[in-house]
Amino acid sequence: MTAIRDRIKELGLEEQYPFRSHFLSLGGKNLHYVDEGQGQPILMLHGNPTWSFYYRNLIRTFSPKFRAVVPDHMGCGMSDKPQDYDYSLETHIQNAYQLIRFLDLKKIILIVHDWGGAIGFGLVTRYPELFERIVILNTAAYPSEHIPQRINLLRQGRVGEWLTRQLNLFAWPATFMTTEKKLPRAIKDGYLLPYNSWENRIAVARFVQDIPMEKEHKTYQTLVDIEARLAGLPHPKLILWGGKDFCFNHHYFEKWVQIYPSAQAHWFAAAGHYVLEDALDEVSLKIWDFVK
């Protein structure tokens, strides 16, 4: 964690990520989280291969009026990166629930992106009474047959793990394949800070391997159970989608609209997977209107 903080200073990113670090011990492993502001909590859950850095602008925008709580999933960001650990969807759901209990969060406004969708909806479908509203950003929370071939390759055994951890062929390409606007070099480096070695890319690889494309996969049933409860969630929902997402493409957007036909849904045609980088102002305004 200290090394990442030092690099943030070296890269001149202190203004971008000025937040104080907090830690929750889970089974002897430290889960890092940001906790800024006071008031109604907004819980923001990131995906792979990002970390709380992805939500840096929303934290600064909403913390003057709300309590912004943003964890780094185990193995990500400034959380511990144990090498012998169950990096499954179920574990990430349980970790997030332990954080909610520890902080005694209620009437939560949930914002999810990428794998954060499966984790977040895993929470909402089990503990709906803890949540008030849901914001959905380029994500899924159900099994799907749609997966880019390049990502499917990285799921495959030792070869996929070697490509992900040794050659960094997941986190590094994400710094230019997920946006339509070219990210400044310092911001790209900010995304990559926690994932600078074989050991530190452990969760990046495990997230990819945890994509359940087969019914025999250990996470498949977890997603099936989540999907079965999605339609029954009464919470108001806001869907904000980057239209040029090569991974979570229009199939996913259309499915969310089908599940939640009464939700507010907005398609940002010029934005990529990292919709908060490509359409920050528009997305922020939509969220403000939704939660104020």
Report pLDDT digits (tens) over 142-196. 999 888 888 988 998 899 999 999 999 999 999 999 999 999 999 999 999 999 9
Residue 3: its pLDDT value, please?
A: 87
Give yes or no for residue 1 having a pLDDT over 80: no
Across the chain, what does the average pLDDT equal?
97
Residue 155: its pLDDT value, please?
A: 92
Helix axes 220-230, 89-103, angle to 10 degrees: 60
Give yes or no for residue 79 having a pLDDT over 80: yes
Residue 146: its pLDDT value, please?
A: 85
Q: How confident is the model at residue 273 (pLDDT cuts 50, 70, 90)?
A: very high
Neighbouring residues of 100: CB distance < 8 A, sequence distance ≥ 6? 43, 108, 123, 127, 130
The DSSP annotation for the chain comes to -HHHHHHHHHTT-TTTS-PPPEEEEETTEEEEEEEES-SSEEEEE--SS--GGGGHHHHHHHTTTSEEEEEPPTTSTTS---SS----HHHHHHHHHHHHHHHT--SEEEEEEEHHHHHHHHHHHH-GGGEEEEEEEEE--S--S---HHHHHHTSHHHHHHHHHTS-TTTTTHHHHS-SSPPPHHHHHHHHTT--STGGGHHHHHHHHT---STTSTTHHHHHHHHHHHTT--S-EEEEEETT-SSS-HHHHHHHHHH-TTSEEEEETT--S-HHHHSHHHHHHHHHHHH-
Residue 175: its pLDDT value, please?
A: 98
CATH code assigned at 170: 3.40.50.1820
Residue 152: its pLDDT value, please?
A: 87
Domain carrying residue 83? 2-291
154 or 288: which leads in pLDDT:
288
Distance between CA atoms of residues 9 and 93, nearest Å: 32
pTM: 0.97
**For 184, left (φ over 0), alpha (ψ -120 to 50), or beta?**
beta
The average pLDDT across 252-266 equals 98
Report how many domains make up the chain: 1
Report pLDDT digits (tens) over 15-63. 999 999 999 999 999 999 999 999 999 999 999 999 999 999 999 999 9
Give yes or no for residue 116 having a pLDDT over 90: yes
Q: Which two tokens stand for residue 3?
A: 């090394």
Report pLDDT digits (tens) over 201-247. 999 999 999 999 999 999 999 999 999 999 999 999 999 999 999 99
Q: How confident is the model at residue 292 (pLDDT cuts 50, 70, 90)?
A: confident
Residue 150: its pLDDT value, please?
A: 85
Distance between CA atoms of residues 141 and 80, nearest Å: 25
The average pLDDT across 93-101 equals 98
